[in-house]
């Protein structure tokens, strides 16, 4: 047999084995099954998975003959985690004093293939950390996030279920510091839209190229989108069933965004109680990207710490609906993308948000926010089998989420280990 035919034969055998495994049933014996929505734990539960979905959940179920059995009776089993504000295609290296330069130079240095390859690494690390669903909010080049989403759907590499936002719509200039001679560089990531025709075209371009969400920047420049501007974009996106996320770094911008009907305010660090109350009234979610100390130090904005903790505490007290988002785009020393995301749990704890509420923001509330609650986000019959396990009860100790031992994505085992490292 030729070497080429031998390689093809081995590949076919591996594929058949994988197909057989995927087609069979998998059984998880859960010592404690955590329900984030109710904040309760059920003991000694059997979970049966087939064809990527949960088929049965309950105590005392009969284990099907020939099923793959995973004994997690010493573990707490729960739904996979969500990150509702991520940038899979970005991992920028820049010292704190040059962070702004690092963001701008990124447009010059990186190619679209390079960004997509970075996304492959980031997606894998996030999945291994238990993050099974993400919303990518742009800065991916020429719709690179859509390409990543499609590659993940086809199984070309492993990573979270991904919703893509395409190019970010913004007033002229975007978020960059541009030379008037090379304004075009920002158009790799942004669509400048100031007139109604430009806004309509920007939304339609994103829809045409496959965006699941529309993201706008309300206030990166001295001029900001007005309430009327935001409403126009929201209505145009709504024609095809898409919702709008609004980057807001000022209180005024968040008020305009909330009044204009966006689904979410992203960041919103300096928000007043009045604006948070307005968001609650209009059912606008906060995806706060509540940076940890480690992240703030690398970003060079350590002085923001108290502001972020205070806003998170007040948002929780007021009752604004919140979904977890990280916004990690720089290399954080000692962390890969997955572990860096979970450093943000420290901020939620500093804001005295109870562990059950944090867990909902990472699971069932996030699924509801993204409109995926009928598909994934809970361990229930008929839903996608996105399942993780940790050694301690996250309803009591949310930092248990940093010690994931088991990850299943759409019924496939991604990780199963005893010491926290992938075998």
Determine which helix (DSSP H) or strand (DSSP E) holds 77, and give its type and residue range: strand 68-79
Structure tokens given for 350: 């500093």
pTM of the model: 0.90
Give residue 91's pLDDT.
82
102 lies in the same domain as 223: yes
66 lies in the same domain as 157: no
423 belongs to a structural domain:
no
Taking the CB of residue 196, how many other CB atoms lie within 10 A of it? 13
Nearest alpha-carbon partner for 87 in 184, 34, 162: 162
Give residue 18's pLDDT.
40
Rounded to whole angstroms, how far apart are CA atoms 326 and 316? 17
Structure tokens given for 379: 């361990």
Which domain covers residue 291, as residue numbers? 81-370
402 lies in the same domain as 294: no
357 belongs to a structural domain:
yes
343 belongs to a structural domain:
yes
167 belongs to a structural domain:
yes
Residues forming beta bridges with residue 77, ordered by sequence position: 33, 389
346 lies in the same domain as 406: no
Give residue 1's pLDDT.
39
118 lies in the same domain as 39: no
Give residue 112's pLDDT.
82
Q: What is the CATH number of the domain that holds 215?
A: 3.20.20.140
89 lies in the same domain as 216: yes
138 lies in the same domain as 248: yes
Q: What is the CATH number of the domain that holds 43?
A: 2.30.40.10
Rounded to whole angstroms, how far apart are CA atoms 48 and 151? 28
93 belongs to a structural domain:
yes
114 lies in the same domain as 126: yes
Domain count of the chain? 2
The end-to-end CA distance of the chain, in Å, is 33
337 lies in the same domain as 364: yes
208 lies in the same domain as 163: yes
Taking the CB of residue 173, how many other CB atoms lie within 10 A of it? 17
Ranges of the chain whose pLDDT falls below 50: 1-23, 101, 419-423
Structure tokens given for 281: 């009234």
Rounded to whole angstroms, how far apart are CA atoms 149 and 161? 7
Give residue 179's pLDDT.
72
177 lies in the same domain as 214: yes
Task: Please say whether the beta carbons of 147 and 114 come within 8 A.
Answer: no
49 lies in the same domain as 158: no
| Angle ∠(362,336,126) on CA atoms, nearest 5 | 40
335 belongs to a structural domain:
yes
Task: Please say whether the beta carbons of 393 and 31 come within 8 A.
Answer: no
251 belongs to a structural domain:
yes
Residue whose token pair is 């304004």 = 183
3-18 burial, b at 16+ Cβ within 10 Å, e below that, comes to eeeeeeeeeeeeeeee
421 belongs to a structural domain:
no
Side-chain-side CA neighbours of residue 58 (13 Å): 6
């Amino acid at each position: 047999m030729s070497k080429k035919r031998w390689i093809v034969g081995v590949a076919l055998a591996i594929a058949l084995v994988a197909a057989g495994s995927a087609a069979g049933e998998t059984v998880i014996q859960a010592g404690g099954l955590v329900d984030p929505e109710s904040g309760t734990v059920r003991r000694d539960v059997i979970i049966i998975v087939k064809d990527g979905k949960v088929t049965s959940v309950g105590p005392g179920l009969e284990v099907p003959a020939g099923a793959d059995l995973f004994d997690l009776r010493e573990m707490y089993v729960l739904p996979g985690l969500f990150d509702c504000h991520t940038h899979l295609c970005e991992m920028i290296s820049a010292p704190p004093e040059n962070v702004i330069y690092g963001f701008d130079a990124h447009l010059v240095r990186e190619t679209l293939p390079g960004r997509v390859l970075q996304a492959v690494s980031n997606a894998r690390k996030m999945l291994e950390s238990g993050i099974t669903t993400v919303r990518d909010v742009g800065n991916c080049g020429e719709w690179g996030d859509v390409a990543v989403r499609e590659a993940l759907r086809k199984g070309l590499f492993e990573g979270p279920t991904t919703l893509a936002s395409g190019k970010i719509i913004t007033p002229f200039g975007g978020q960059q510091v541009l030379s008037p001679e090379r304004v075009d560089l920002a158009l790799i990531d942004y669509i400048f839209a100031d007139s109604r025709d430009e806004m309509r075209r920007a939304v339609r371009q994103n829809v045409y190229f496959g965006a699941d969400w529309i993201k706008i920047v309300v206030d990166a420049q001295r001029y900001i989108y007005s309430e009327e501007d935001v409403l126009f974009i929201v209505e145009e996106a709504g024609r095809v069933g898409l919702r709008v996320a609004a980057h807001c770094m000022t209180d005024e911008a968040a008020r305009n965004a909330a009044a204009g009907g966006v689904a979410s305010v992203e960041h919103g660090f300096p928000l007043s109680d009045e604006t948070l109350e307005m968001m609650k009234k209009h059912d606008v979610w906060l995806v706060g990207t509540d940076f940890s100390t480690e992240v703030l130090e690398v970003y060079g904005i350590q002085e923001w710490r108290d502001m972020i903790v205070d806003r998170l505490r007040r948002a929780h007290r007021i009752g604004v609906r919140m979904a977890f988002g990280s916004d990690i785009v720089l290399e954080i020393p000692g962390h890969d993308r997955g572990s860096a995301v979970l450093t943000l749990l420290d901020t939620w704890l500093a804001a005295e948000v109870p562990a059950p509420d944090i867990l909902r923001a990472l699971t069932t509330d996030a699924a509801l926010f993204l409109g995926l609650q009928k598909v994934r986000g809970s361990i229930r019959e008929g839903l996608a089998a996105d399942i993780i396990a940790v050694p301690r009860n996250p309803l009591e100790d949310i930092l248990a989420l940093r010690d994931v031992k088991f990850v299943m994505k759409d019924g496939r085992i991604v990780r199963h280990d005893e010491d926290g490292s992938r075998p």
